[in-house]
Amino acid sequence: MDWGTLQDVLGGVNKHSTSIGKIWLTVLFIFRIMILVVAAERVWGDEQQDFVCNTLQPGCKNVCYDHFFPISHIRLWALQLIFVSTPALLVAMHVAYRRHEMKRRFRHGEKIDIEELKNERIHIRGPLWWTYASSIFFRIIFEAVFMYIFYYMYDGYQMPRLMKCSDWPCPNIVDCFVSRPTEKTTFTIFMLAVSGICMVLNLAELCYLVIKVCMKEPRKTT
Amino acid sequence: MNWAGLYTVLSGVNRHSTAIGRIWLSVIFIFRIMVLVVAAESVWGDEKSAFTCNTQQPGCNSVCYDHFFPISHIRLWALQLILVTTPALLVAMHVAYQQHQEKKLLMLTGHADAKHMEEVKKHKMRISGSLWWTYVCSVVFRLLFEAVFMYIFYMLYPGYQMMRLVKCEAYPCPNTVDCFISRPTEKTIFTVFMLVTSSICIVLNMAELIYLVVRACARRSHHNSNPSSGKSSFYGHKHSSEYKQNEINQLLTEQDGSLKDMLRRNSGLQEKGDRCSAC
């Protein structure tokens, strides 16, 4: 079970999304997951091995690394991507349930929208609208929470070159040097920018859904 | 055979599960197996190479590592996930057996053509009778395995928290030696995460068990209050109305393959024919 399998699972959801939803999914897979797997994992690959402290005291390096990096950027991004993509599964489950209901009603001879069943595309209305809107809302919440966690843990997204550590068993204050700080800063800003774009897309999709419903209401009343 | 292979095997079982069972399977694959493969394995990847002891005594490092980590978290989680997902295969085997029985019955009643055989393979089994007992057993075993592994974790690594420093006195380490663990905070975060998802899975399994029991009791009381709707045999009842309807549908599609024609004729036939009992 890896990113490829997640892509297969979410690819199915794509069919029932709005156009903005499809763009969001593409941005997620190409600019975030792919960049994570293909580039970012290499950059952070030697983060602990090449974290060097100016001391011979055994254990000082481990302790200082643990103090400055409670959870690595890579793992945080992986968790963020998993959490952000799973609300789409709520929609997939609701669509599957609706299709099952439509088939059941068809068998019992009730009138249903044949075009919908034939084209395998379900219109986003009724309870499905609420499920879809909730999934977008949760996506936005998770993105915001993880961006806050990043900011809280790593004060300002920039990776410093040098960190000063005085945890036991390090004697007095010890200088520790981070490996590839500029490259890490570049990728952090890139992932942050793409995360921002995804949030904007989600907000736009939410607005679009709300406006679509509001437009339908006056037409129904007139 | 890897996690993807397990995913393929278990996706087949998904069709015959309850809704809660499907949610449980999604939680297992996305929040446990995927997090294990994509994140946790790299956190524990350098656990032995970055385990540093404050000594130059050869062998002390290895001995202390072995003393404090008899079995790594990653391996325990992998075993837990394999054992927890495999009871679902009991259900898959039972379903396969029932499908085999249905095919035999079809052959005896003279409906043994390819289309009916396909229909047997495709339709969703109702969880009743002996399949209900198999399903309930599989859920009970899942619960048992989850609980056992959580207990093993607690016994081996009391408190779930990973210490930064452990003091080791095993031979050949001289006196007491300080040993430092790599990435303890990250490991603690992931241990807590896996523990929380494990608890969520336990809750889902218990909910599924209660749901199955309540459904069976409701069905039994409905049965007792309405004895005229009693079914003869499990297979007999299923086949008489369901396959008759399926046969009608198949005949329609043979004559004219379009969906619209099927709809036109179906609406006329529904007045005469039986209702599909597989719905």
What is the tens place of the pLDDT at every residue in A165-187?
998 889 889 999 998 899 999 99
Look at B185 and A71 and tell me if their CB atoms are within 8 Å.
yes
Highest mean pLDDT among A149-158, B21-30, B115-124, B200-209: B200-209
Q: Is B235 on the interface with A (CB under 8 A)?
A: no
Position B215 in a domain: yes
B4 touches chain A (CB under 8 A): yes
Sort out which chain B residues have CB atoms less than 8 A from A71's CB and list them.
185-186, 189
Q: Is there a domain that residue B131 lies in?
A: yes
Report the pLDDT value the prediction gives residue B272, as an integer from 0 to 100: 41
Looking at residue B124, which CATH number applies to its domain?
A: 1.20.1440.80
Residues 25-44 of B with CB under 8 A from A: 26, 29-31, 33-35, 37-39, 42-43
User: What integer pLDDT is reported at residue B260 of this predicted model?
Assistant: 39
Domain count for chain B: 1
Prediction pTM value: 0.78
Q: How confident is the model at residue B198 (pLDDT cuts 50, 70, 90)?
A: very high
Which chain B residues are Cβ-neighbours of A65 within 8 angstroms? Answer: 182-183
More confident of the two residues A117 and B103: B103
Which residues in chain A have Cβ-Cβ distances shorter than 8 Å to B164?
62-63, 66
Using a CB-CB cut-off of 8 Å, the residues of chain A touching B50 are: 48-49, 62
**C-alpha dist (Å) from residue A161 to A42, A178, A179, B70:** 18, 5, 8, 37
Residue B26: which of A57, A89, A108 has the nearest Cβ? A89
Binary contact (A78, B50; C-beta < 8 A):
no
CB A76 within 8 A of CB A149: yes
Grade residue B159 by pLDDT with cuts at 50, 70 and 90: confident
Interface test with A, best of B37, B180, B185 (most A CBs within 10 A): B180
- Sheet holding A52-53: strands in order across? A52-53, A174-177, A162-165
In angstroms, rounded to a whole number, what is the distance separating the alpha carbons of residues B182 and B253?
A: 65
Of A3, A59, A78, the CB nearest to B52: A59
Give the C-alpha separation, B262 to B249, whole Å.
8
**Does the residue B80 lie in any domain?**
yes
Q: φ and ψ at B177, to 5 degrees?
A: -120, 135
- Helices B87-109 + B3-14 axis angle, to 10: 50
Say what the pLDDT of residue B267 is. 46
Phi, psi torsion values for B156, nearest 5 degrees = -75, -40
Domains (ranges, CATH) in chain A? 19-48+73-156+183-215 (1.20.1440.80)
The mean pLDDT of chain A is 86
Is 50 exceeded by the pLDDT of residue B252?
A: no
Measured CA to CA in angstroms, residue A81 lies from A7, A146, B112, B139 at distances of: 12, 10, 49, 30
Q: What is the rounded CA–CA span in Å between residue B156 and residue A27?
A: 43
Collect all residues of chain A within an 8 Å Cβ-Cβ radius of residue B26. 89
Let me know if residue B171 belongs to a domain.
Answer: no
DSSP string, chain B: --HHHHHHHHHHHHTTS-HHHHHHHHIIIIIIIHHIIIIIHHHSTTTTTT-EES---TTHHHHHHHHH-SS-HHHHHHHHHHHHHTHHHHHHHHHHHHHHHHHHHHHHHT--SHHHHHHHHHSPPP--THHHHHHHHHHHHHHHHHHHHHHHHHHHSTTSPPPSEEEE--TTS-S-EEEE-SSHHHHHHHHHHHHHHHHHHHHHHHHHHHHHHHHHHHHHHHHHH-GGG--S-HHHHHIIIIIHHHHHHHHHHHH---HHHHHHHHHHHTTTSPPPTT-
Q: What pLDDT sits at residue A101?
A: 80
How many other C-beta atoms lie within 10 A of the C-beta of residue A46?
A: 11
In this predicted model, what pLDDT tens digit does every residue of A27-53 receive, in sequence order?
898 889 989 988 888 889 888 888 999
ipTM of predicted assembly, 2 dp: 0.78
Mean pLDDT of chain B: 80
Q: Do A169 and B178 touch (CB under 8 A)?
A: yes
Assess if residue B201 is contained within a domain: yes
pLDDT at B85 over 60: yes
User: For residues B40, B43, B48 and B52, what is the CA-based torsion angle, rounded to 10 degrees?
Assistant: -150
In the DSSP assignment, the letter for residue A165 is E
Domain that residue B120 falls in: 12-46+71-162+185-221
- Sorted by sequence, the CB contacts under 8 Å of residue A138 that are 6+ apart come out as A87, A90
- Tell how strand A162-165 and strand B177-180 pair up: unpaired
A and B: number of Cβ contacts within 8 A: 114
B4/A5 CB distance under 8 A: yes
Q: How confident is the model at residue B3 (pLDDT cuts 50, 70, 90)?
A: confident
What whole-number distance in Å separates Cα of residue B212 and Cα of residue B215? 5
A217 min Cα distance to partner chain B (Å): 31
Report whether pLDDT(B15) > 50. yes
Domain-embedded: residue B120: yes
Q: Are B200 and B83 in contact (CB under 8 A)?
A: no
Q: Please judge whether B38 and A72 are an interchain contact, meaning their C-beta atoms are less than 8 angstroms apart.
A: no
> Is B82 touching A (CB cutoff 8 A)?
no
Name which of A1, A33, A149 to mutate to probe chain B: the one with the most chain B Cβ atoms within 10 A of its Cβ. A1
List the single residue in B with minimal CA-CA distance to A101.
B279
A109 touches chain B (CB under 8 A): yes
Task: With CA atoms as reference, report the closest residue to B182 among B43, B82, B80.
Answer: B43
Range of weakest confidence among A213-222, B32-41, B57-66, B146-155: A213-222
Residue A67 has pLDDT above 90, yes or no: yes
Please give the sequence-ordered ranges of beta strands (E in DSSP) within chain A, or none if there are none: 52-53, 162-165, 174-177
Whether A8 contacts chain B with CB within 8 A: no
pLDDT band at A148 (very low <50, low <70, confident <90, very high): very high
Contact A13, A93 (CB under 8 A): no
